[in-house]
Structure 1
Amino acid sequence: MTEHLTALPGDAVREQASDWFTQREAMTHNVLLRQRFEQWRNADEQHAQAYRALENLWNASAFEQALEHLALNLDLPPAQAPARRQRRPQRWLATAAVLLVMLGAGWVGDLPMRLQADHLSAVGQVERFDLADGSHVVLGSHSAISSDFSAAHRRIRLLRGELYVEAFHDPSRPLTIEAGSATVTVVGTRFSVSRHADGVTVAVREGRVRLADDQGEQSLLQAGNWQQLQDHHLRPLNPEGGERQMAWVDGRLSFQDAPLAQVLGELRRYYRAPILLFNASAAQQNVSGNYRLDDPHAIVQALSKVTNTELTRLPGGVLVLR
């Protein structure tokens, strides 16, 4: 039975295709493994298409160049001649699987997010619009929200990224923003909410905002304040520096004594290709700056000089810091 295979979402199919692709060499020696792969590929046309896309990208000249450059910068074994690609070491295949996703424009589909969201923004794009209640919203780069407005309530879900809201004043219907395990409640104010891999950041420009976690702990933020929720718990409130957290609204990235790894994590949302950091010491080094977000590559170059790291640009725009 293959019902569970055909029901898989697109991203899961792509991940499975990558897993099978890294086992290509093993399949030549393991008949049972090869049979299992063929069963998976033949179970659904999406499986076959996903695997063909990987094969096509693997054979592209740009990808071959990327592998060669990555070998030099990461001290990996040298690539063998194209005619012997099938015999590359397993370590090369693992690296290849990562780069296949990195270099394949549009490879990671956005369909699941599009099905949930009412508004989305592309990488490097900022969207400005008004909601049904009259609230004004600025949606940051690579961000998405869904909204649910009725006569009794106003709700917004921040699915990813960040948004800035000038909330319409309506005491009878407080505006609620849900972002992961964080809930932000306001009546009428100006504030931003940013969703990260490790939590949520809320900053207030005007008025007051109530921030709560899923355990019931609450905090009241006023103009200039900002606060983070990490690991489902509220961190100490920061009485100053809220404007720095909202610099992206004006097209800037501003940070003060922040670890390089954290800054690059934020910058990745504005850059269309991956930014990789292979320097554990530099990752923890604190940096400060205020940069225009319309040239992320220039920001990485500047940070590379400050942290004395070596920056390499691979085909496809992939940036590697060592």
Structure 2
Amino acid sequence: MERERDQPDLPDDPRDAALAWFVRLESGDADAADRRAFHAWLAQDPAHRREYDRLAGLWGDLDRVPDPRRAQRAAPTRRRFLAGAAVGGAAACAAALGGAVVLTGWPGDLTTGIGERRTVTLDDGSVLTLDADSALSVAFTAGERRVRLTGGRAHFVTAPDPGRPFVVTCAEGRIATADASFVVHRCLDSVVVAVESGTTSLTTGMEPPLPIAAGQSRSYGPEGPGPLLSQGVAVENAWRHGRLVFQGQPLDAVIADLNRYHPARIVLWDRPLAGLRFDGSVDISRPDAALNAILRTLPLRTLRPVPGLVIIRSV
């Protein structure tokens, strides 16, 4: 008969104790005695279950985080670009390094993996560069050149064609131009449009089109469009030069951007942390150093309970 196992020495803080149990149970080495001790710990205090459920919820919601017990059986989605670079030959290698790929008659979807950038020339001569962990689809017709950005960020240099506007749709917005160079960036529930050259028009909801000229930017979201700004273009283009620049953005938006480059999934343990603000510039070629640079300015620390997951919590 198996002997009952005493509960291990655990930290007094329920959050730290929950993390210790999480690591043990996710290790794949936990046995029946471990699980009985775990359930006994849960029953001791409602705070124990609350903190463990919070941590397990973070893990369960992150379908792109690799489960160590399944890592050898299936490649996780966040690593898909590695396989793509190996299989796709010279074109895929160029894409993974931010090189150009010419695709004529290309009507379908384009996606990038973590840390990958891809530049594509469309059959009308327009050039788009897709940022890391982003996705879009293209559908050209006789009367319109349409791109739908479903996530992430893209830079567009449109070929002039006055009779066939170039239209980018993203969330509830529609950006149209005849000839312009601009960035569209979707992060959480907000979208930013930043125009380098030419002029675009932004339509959201039932409002008349709002012009955005060279050197200007405008954001929009569920509450409608924000004010027109004579700044933001350099910030929104920094990723094309190997950096992410933040000007007082909330931490949840900062982490959402960094997650497109970091090999692990970064999450915030406590909801109030999302509202912390960060100012600074980080090197996206070194994503872990970038994360550390952000954390050095805030009273935060990281926990890495299992491979592929980084938890940010208050000190």
- Normalising by structure 2, report the TM-score: 0.70
Instruction: Determine what percentage of the aligned residue pairs are the same residue.
Output: 26
Deviation at 1:84, TM superposition (A): 3.0
Aligned Cα RMSD in Å?
Answer: 2.9
Q: Tell me, in whole angstroms, the C-alpha distance in 1 between the residues paired with 2:237 and 2:19.
A: 44
- Of residues 136, 140, 144 in structure 2, which corresponds to 1:145? 136
Helix, strand or coil for the counterpart of 2:285? coil
2:41 is aligned with 1:76 = no
Q: Tell me, in whole angstroms, the C-alpha distance in 2 between the residues paired with 1:139 and 1:148.
A: 16
Q: Deviations along 1:44-63, whole A, 9 cap, x unmatched?
A: xxxxxxxxxxxxxxxxxxxx
Compared CA separation, residues 98 and 256, structure 1 to 2 (3 A): closer
Q: Tell me, in whole angstroms, the C-alpha distance in 1 between the residues paired with 2:278 and 2:216.
A: 22
Q: Report if aligned partners of 1:184, 1:212 keep a CA contact under 8 Å in 2.
A: yes
Partner in structure 2 of residue 173 of structure 1: 164
Q: Report if aligned partners of 2:146, 2:168 keep a CA contact under 8 Å in 1.
A: yes
Q: Which amino acid aligns with 1:76?
A: A
Deviation at 1:207, TM superposition (A): 0.9
Q: Tell me, in whole angstroms, the C-alpha distance in 2 between the residues paired with 1:306 and 1:117.
A: 42
Deviation at 1:143, TM superposition (A): 1.0
Q: Report if aligned partners of 1:258, 1:288 keep a CA contact under 8 Å in 2.
A: yes
Partner in structure 2 of residue 22 of structure 1: none
Deviation at 1:86, TM superposition (A): 4.5
- Of residues 121, 130, 133 in structure 2, which corresponds to 1:130? 121
Q: How does 1:36-55 map to 2 (within 5 A)?
A: none
Task: From the two aligned structures, give the one with the greater strand fraction.
Answer: 2
Helix, strand or coil for the counterpart of 1:303? helix
Helix, strand or coil for the counterpart of 2:256? helix
Q: Which amino acid aligns with 1:103?
A: P
Unaligned runs of 5+ residues in structure 1 are 1-67
2:214 is aligned with 1:254 = no
Compared CA separation, residues 184 and 284, structure 1 to 2 (3 A): same
Q: Which amino acid aligns with 1:291?
A: V
Partner in structure 1 of residue 178 of structure 2: 187
Q: Which amino acid aligns with 2:238?
A: A
Compared CA separation, residues 200 and 319, structure 1 to 2 (3 A): same
Q: Tell me, in whole angstroms, the C-alpha distance in 2 between the residues paired with 1:77 and 1:241.
A: 40
Q: Tell me, in whole angstroms, the C-alpha distance in 2 between the residues paired with 1:233 and 1:312.
A: 37
Partner in structure 2 of residue 99 of structure 1: 59
Q: Deviations along 1:77-132, whole A, 9 cap, x unmatched?
A: 85375333544447447744643643326556999xxxx95211111100011011
Q: Tell me, in whole angstroms, the C-alpha distance in 2 between the residues paired with 1:280 and 1:96.
A: 15
Task: From the two aligned structures, give the one with the greater helix fraction.
Answer: 1
Q: Tell me, in whole angstroms, the C-alpha distance in 2 between the residues paired with 1:165 and 1:77.
A: 44
Deviation at 1:280, TM superposition (A): 5.4
Q: Tell me, in whole angstroms, the C-alpha distance in 1 between the residues paired with 2:144 and 2:268.
A: 44
Deviation at 1:166, TM superposition (A): 0.4
Compared CA separation, residues 78 and 109, structure 1 to 2 (3 A): closer
Compared CA separation, residues 149 and 283, structure 1 to 2 (3 A): closer
Moved more, 282-291 or 128-137: 282-291
Compared CA separation, residues 109 and 251, structure 1 to 2 (3 A): closer
Partner in structure 2 of residue 221 of structure 1: 212
